[in-house]
């Protein structure tokens, strides 16, 4: 068994962990990253990237199917088909290139990668395991925990056979005739829409009284309309009881206590994710916790000196870009720089069709803080570029202080609005006012013009509505 010594050990090679390791190595910090699976973590391997690839493939197939039924654009095609095995292979190719790129970047910058599963001995020592055997032991000055999260499993409906998580949903060998999605959050809806476009009948079951409950209803009602147009059945206020005796249907109960069954070929359980805190000796550190997550301060320090935590294991929001920013910051703090994690806002995107993006405060959130606000929206129905894309559903909305017009938040729903998130985030980080955005010349014709028009409308003089 080998023994190594280093300045920084990073547990987990996901977006937060690999960014931390790269930045630390760039700053001259001796760094070892321990990862038992593929570099890139959930995001690159079984999350963000493969899901967006499958979403794109489904959109293209659905578009071809739409054209086969006639199109106002004059496009005519014969009945399309899809080879799902080839689609998954294409998706896997993207994942392989990206994860390989991560490995190359770590090597290029001088960060060492040790393949194996970390097991924490104490705050300064990590054992690395392979096939149940310890292959090396690493001592360190700083320990960074970036272990990510795992899909929540329902105890009465464990994963296996017909019941799948998002991981299995992203690697289908065939498209089920009927899919039941348990959970109306962003993961369930993104994949439910994808499977519907690939030809499956889809039923979404949500225990609350509306879909996407973390987003405000003005945004989600646009998505709800789109679900109906796609032919996706949505049952709200319904709780899942488990599979029936013959394993051919999901048993559900409505608010009145009435039980029924929904027949299906597959069941996708997408009821959330939880921090990955089990199975690698974390409990030995006896860290302060925030529920199931590791409690951290605004520098990602835990309750133990020189032990840090970033990303999903440190709780909400569980977003890859948050983990990346935290990882970069921790590396710089260890290198002696003064940093704190106090972003003006962290964008959140839901890649449904249409997409949703929110940055900063909604009108309700701002008003709940006692702030007097100005809020205005600009519909894509009045945007030329949206019309040329056959995507005039949705809107951009801005929220600003009434007294000094400083922008507090942005929300948008519509085709490709995820690409507006950078502009939204930048305006908040720079402390922009409505006048700043309204006075900035936006390219024509683009969806971004709706950003300028929303600011203009908040000031009382929109030009195109």
DSSP one-letter string for 222-288: HHHHHHHHHT-EEEES-EEEEE-TTSSEEEEE-TTS-EEEEE-SEEEE-S-EEE--SSSSGGGG---
Is residue 372 domain-resident?
Answer: yes
The pLDDT of residue 261 is 96
Is residue 342 domain-resident?
Answer: no
**What percent of the chain is predicted at pLDDT more than 70?**
100
| Ramachandran region, residue 48 (left: φ > 0; alpha: ψ -120 to 50; beta: rest) | alpha
Residue 76 has pLDDT above 90, yes or no: no
Q: What angle do CA 277, 282, 287 make, to 5 degrees?
A: 100
- Does residue 168 share a domain with residue 233? yes
- Does residue 142 share a domain with residue 10? yes
The residue written with tokens 């190719």 in the block is 93
Identify the active-site residue in 66, 340, 444, 464. Answer: 444
Confidence of residue 385 (pLDDT cuts 50, 70, 90): very high
Domain boundary among 271, 293, 313: 271
Cα torsion through 84, 90, 93, 94, rounded to 10: -110
Question: β-pairing, 407-414 with 395-401?
Answer: antiparallel
Structure tokens at 441: 């010349």
User: Which of 373, 352, 359, 45 has its CA nearest to residue 189?
Assistant: 352
- Does residue 183 share a domain with residue 224? yes
Cβ neighbours of residue 112 closer than 8 Å, sequence gap 6 or more: 6, 31, 32, 33
Structure tokens at 384: 């030329």
- Does residue 138 share a domain with residue 60? yes
Domain boundary among 334, 366, 386: 334
Q: What is the pLDDT of residues 332-378, one digit of tens each?
A: 999 999 999 999 999 999 999 999 999 999 999 999 999 999 999 99
Strand partners, 32: 9, 112
Are 417 and 446 in contact, with CB atoms under 8 Å apart? no
- Does residue 169 share a domain with residue 66? no
> Would you call 191 helix, strand, or coil by DSSP?
helix
> Would you call 175 helix, strand, or coil by DSSP?
coil
Confidence of residue 69 (pLDDT cuts 50, 70, 90): confident
User: Would you call the peptide bond into 201 cis, given omega within 30 degrees of 0 as the criterion?
Assistant: no
Are 449 and 463 in contact, with CB atoms under 8 Å apart? no
Say which DSSP state 340 is in: -
Domain boundary among 271, 288, 307: 271
d(CA 414, CA 377): 13
- Does residue 289 share a domain with residue 205? no
Confidence of residue 92 (pLDDT cuts 50, 70, 90): very high
**What percent of the chain is predicted at pLDDT more than 90?**
95
> Would you call 155 helix, strand, or coil by DSSP?
coil
Predicted TM-score (pTM) of this structure: 0.94
Is residue 341 domain-resident?
Answer: no
Where does 136-183 have alpha helices with state H? 166-169
d(CA 158, CA 168): 13
The pLDDT of residue 2 is 81
Residue 225 has pLDDT above 80, yes or no: yes
**Residue 66 falls in the annotated catalytic set:** no
Are 103 and 113 in contact, with CB atoms under 8 Å apart? yes
Provide mean pLDDT across the span 313-321.
97
- Does residue 99 share a domain with residue 38? yes
Is residue 115 domain-resident?
Answer: yes
The pLDDT of residue 311 is 98
Are 383 and 462 in contact, with CB atoms under 8 Å apart? no
Measured between its terminal Cα atoms, the distance across the chain in Å is: 71
Is residue 96 domain-resident?
Answer: yes
The pLDDT of residue 70 is 79
- Does residue 189 share a domain with residue 51? no
The pLDDT of residue 68 is 83
The residue written with tokens 């829409």 in the block is 193
> Would you call 304 helix, strand, or coil by DSSP?
coil
Structural domain containing residue 401: 348-458
The dihedral built from the CA positions of residue 4, 5, 6 and 10, taken in this order, carries a sign that is positive
Confidence of residue 213 (pLDDT cuts 50, 70, 90): very high
- Does residue 280 share a domain with residue 132? yes
Provide mean pLDDT across the span 175-203.
97
Q: What is the pLDDT of residues 151-185, one digit of tens each?
A: 999 999 999 999 999 999 999 999 999 999 999 99
> Would you call 307 helix, strand, or coil by DSSP?
strand
- Does residue 284 share a domain with residue 265? no
The pLDDT of residue 176 is 97
Strand partners, 252: 240, 260
- Does residue 175 share a domain with residue 139? no
Q: Considering only 5-19, 57-71, 87-101, 390-404, which range has the smallest mean pLDDT?
A: 57-71
Say which DSSP state 170 is in: T
Is residue 141 domain-resident?
Answer: yes
d(CA 455, CA 465): 13
| Average predicted confidence (pLDDT) for the chain | 96
d(CA 387, CA 442): 17
Task: Compute CA distances 300 → 303, 313, 341, 342, whole Å.
Answer: 10, 11, 8, 11
Residue 400 has pLDDT above 80, yes or no: yes
Residue 1 has pLDDT above 80, yes or no: no
Provide mean pLDDT across the span 42-63.
95
CATH number of residue 260's parent domain: 3.50.50.60
Q: What is the pLDDT of residues 106-156, one digit of tens each?
A: 999 999 999 999 999 999 999 999 999 999 999 999 999 999 999 999 999
Provide mean pLDDT across the span 74-92.
93
Number of domains in the chain: 3
The pLDDT of residue 187 is 96
- Does residue 134 share a domain with residue 215? no
The pLDDT of residue 316 is 96
């Amino acid at each position: 068994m080998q023994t190594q010594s280093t300045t920084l050990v990073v547990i987990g090679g996901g977006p937060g962990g690999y960014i931390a390791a790269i930045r630390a190595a760039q700053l001259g910090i001796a760094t070892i990253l321990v990862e038992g699976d593929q570099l890139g973590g959930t995001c690159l391997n079984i999350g963000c990237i493969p899901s967006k690839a499958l979403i794109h493939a489904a959109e293209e197939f659905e578009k071809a199917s739409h054209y086969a039924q006639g199109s106002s654009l004059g496009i005519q095609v014969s009945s399309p088909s899809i080879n799902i095995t080839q689609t998954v292979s294409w998706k896997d190719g993207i994942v392989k290139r990206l994860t390989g790129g991560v490995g190359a970047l770590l090597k290029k910058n001088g960060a060492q990668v040790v393949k194996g599963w970390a097991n924490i001995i104490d705050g300064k020592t990590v054992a690395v395991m392979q096939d149940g055997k310890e292959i090396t032991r690493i001592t360190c000055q700083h320990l960074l925990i970036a272990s990510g999260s795992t899909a929540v499993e329902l105890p009465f409906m464990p994963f296996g056979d017909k019941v799948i998580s998002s991981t299995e949903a992203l690697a289908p060998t065939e498209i089920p005739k009927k899919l039941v999605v348990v959970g109306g959050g962003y993961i369930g809806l993104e994949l439910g829409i994808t499977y519907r476009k690939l030809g499956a009948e889809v039923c979404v079951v949500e225990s609350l009284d509306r879909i996407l409950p973390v987003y405000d209803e003005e945004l989600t009602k646009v998505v709800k309309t789109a679900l109906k147009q796609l032919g996706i059945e949505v049952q709200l206020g319904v709780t899942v009881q488990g599979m029936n005796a013959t394993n051919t249907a999901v048993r559900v109960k409505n608010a009145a206590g009435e039980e029924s069954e929904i027949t299906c070929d597959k069941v996708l359980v997408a009821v959330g994710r939880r921090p990955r805190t089990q199975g690698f000796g974390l409990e030995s550190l006896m860290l302060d916790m925030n529920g199931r997550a590791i409690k951290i301060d605004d520098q990602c320090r835990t309750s133990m000196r020189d032990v840090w935590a970033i990303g999903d294991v440190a709780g909400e929001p569980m977003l890859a870009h948050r983990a990346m920013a935290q990882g970069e910051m921790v590396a710089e703090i260890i290198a002696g720089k003064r940093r704190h994690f106090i972003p003006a806002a962290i964008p959140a995107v839901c890649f449904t069709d249409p997409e949703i993006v929110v940055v900063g405060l909604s009108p309700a959130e701002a008003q709940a803080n006692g702030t007097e606000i100005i809020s205005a929206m600009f519909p894509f129905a009045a945007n030329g570029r949206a019309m040329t894309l056959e995507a005039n559903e949705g809107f951009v909305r801005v929220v600003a202080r009434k007294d000094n017009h400083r922008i507090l938040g942005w929300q948008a729903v519509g085709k490709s609005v995820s690409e507006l998130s950078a502009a939204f985030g930048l305006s908040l980080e720079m402390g922009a006012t409505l006048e700043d955005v309204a006075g900035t010349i936006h390219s024509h014709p683009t969806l971004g013009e709706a950003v300028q028009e929303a600011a203009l409308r908040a000031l009382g003089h929109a030009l195109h509505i």
